[in-house]
Amino acid sequence: MAACISSLHVYPVKSLAGIDVQQSVLTSEGLHYDRRWVITDDQGDFITQRSCARMATLVPALDEHHLILQSPDRRHLFISLTLPEVAPSRVRIFGSECQGLDEGDEAARWLSAFLERPVRLKRVPRDNQRRVSPERIGTHVAHTGFADGYPLLIAATSSLTALNDRLVARALPALPMSRFRPNIVIEGTFPFAEHDSTTLEGENLSLWLCKPCERCRITTINQCSGDIAVPGEPLKTLMTMDHVATGGAFFGENAVVMQGGGQLLYTGMPIRMG
């Protein structure tokens, strides 16, 4: 079977639920609308499922004019897609200092009530300057929104099958791909081909696969319910596997865009690994 894109996933607000899409425009900073918003505390430090698992149960949608967030009890928050006319303010993601545009008090009150803590919602500014770490990509300059560190995460269906085979062999439940929150899922490759390749290419498309993604406790959280079914899994099982030379729990490959900004990606799109 020829390799192709199996599915595409966009996460408009960092650490909230994702949106499965049939097609998406690729930008130099990742898929269109991916991780363009972040929830922070009052000091601008980012908040994720690592400390607030119920964030997984907030479901986003996009229409022509709004980002829409829906809570489990079907309450809705509407955020205009028009950039707010406010001065940028501090956002800190791990050790990375960047800027965000605050979406205002109404959004802050709605999210604070749901998350039961004071928070703000901030958006990537028009002149985003947040760079991907040069430690991994050298002199190439790439930017990302509010993703952990890279604009894209690539994973393969065969890699998930290999992991699930190991989990089932240990009498543990198999997991859906949603646990790993990828942007681009590929099929038609051997297991963990994404770690043995340096590029993902298609017509007028070139992505640099530059770093295996070391996983955190978010992978232990059911992305529908916000619950942890088996503490420590799949991290413990990933650490027993040898698909990455460096010891640790790795799944998926971080990537940056080398060519193809503005191109439409779609499910079924032929690709090749190199």
Q: Report the DSSP beta bridge partners of residue 30.
A: 27
The CATH number that applies at residue 127 is 2.40.33.20
CB within 8 Å of 198: residues ≥ 6 apart: 208, 209, 210, 274
The encoded tokens of residue 154 equal 């690539």
Tell me the pLDDT of the chain averaged across its residues.
96
* pLDDT bracket for residue 246 (50, 70, 90): confident
Q: pLDDT digits over 59-77, tens only?
A: 999 999 999 999 999 999 9
Share of the chain above pLDDT 90, in %: 94
Do 24 and 11 contact (CB within 8 A), yes or no? Answer: no
> Mean of the pLDDT values across residues 178-182?
98
pLDDT for 180 equals 98
pLDDT for 1 equals 59
* pLDDT bracket for residue 150 (50, 70, 90): very high
Q: pLDDT digits over 82-135, tens only?
A: 999 999 999 999 988 999 999 999 999 999 999 999 999 999 999 999 999 887
Residue ranges of the alpha helices (H) in 37-178? 105-115, 134-137, 157-169
**How far is residue 101's CA from residue 87's CA, in Å, rounded to a whole number?**
7
Distances, alpha carbon 166 to alpha carbons 157, 185, 213, in Å: 14, 20, 19
Of the two residues 246 and 250, the one the predictor is more confident about is 250
* Cβ count near 225 (within 10 Å): 13
Nearest C-alpha neighbor of 79 from the set 42, 38, 117, 48 = 38
pTM given for the model? 0.96
Q: pLDDT digits over 224-238, tens only?
A: 999 998 999 999 999
- pLDDT over 90 (residue 138): no
- The boundaries of the domain holding residue 136 are 4-273
> Mean of the pLDDT values across residues 48-57?
97
> Mean of the pLDDT values across residues 22-51?
98
**How far is residue 174's CA from residue 171's CA, in Å, rounded to a whole number?**
9
- Number of structural domains (the chain) is 1
pLDDT for 82 equals 97
